[in-house]
Amino acid sequence: MIEFHSENNFEFEESAFAKAWLEKVIAAEEKELGEINYIFCDDEYLHKINMDFLNHDTYTDIISFDYSQGAVLSGDIYVSTQRVEENAKTFKAAFKEEFFRVLVHGILHYCGYKDKTEDQAKEMRDKEDYYLNKAF
């Protein structure tokens, strides 16, 4: 089950579409859906999580806590809608595209993709683009 929650005033009007799309991504990656919660928040909320749990004094668009067991994907994915909006401007992308990129990014981490090295980041970006092209 995929659920969306908001800790700010963000209203996700395409949640049904996003759930169906993310379920297809999970199936395409030959994984199973457990319980995944997306929590939408602002920069300060996510910055506090970054400090408290990861000791990182930086702003970010996404932090995921992976509770997956084997092929069953579960976890909590925190998304700063403020940061997504800023990144969309920076990358000259539509908010919706950047937002969906972040949504699938969290799922791809649960599928085992990393983004710490340049090669890993390229593979992650290629996968994001692949699934975004299937969504739009």
pLDDT per position as a tens digit, 11-56: 999 999 999 999 999 999 999 999 999 999 999 999 999 999 999 9
Question: Using H for helix, E for strand and C for coil, what is the string for 30-54?
Answer: CCEEEEEEEEEECHHHHHHHHHHHH
Which amino acid is it at 99?
A: F
Q: Residues annotated as binding site for Zn(2+)?
A: 105, 109, 115
Q: Where are the domains of the chain?
A: 2-135
For 29, list phi and psi in degrees, rounded to 5: -85, 5
Query: Annotated binding site: which residue ranges?
Result: 105, 109, 115
Is 95 in a helix, a strand, or coil?
A: helix
126, containing H or E segment: helix 118-135
Using N-to-C axis directions, what is the helix angle for 118-135 and 95-110, rounded to 10°? 120
2-135 CATH fold = Collagenase (Catalytic Domain) (3.40.390)
* Per-residue pLDDT tens over the stretch 65-75: 999 999 999 99
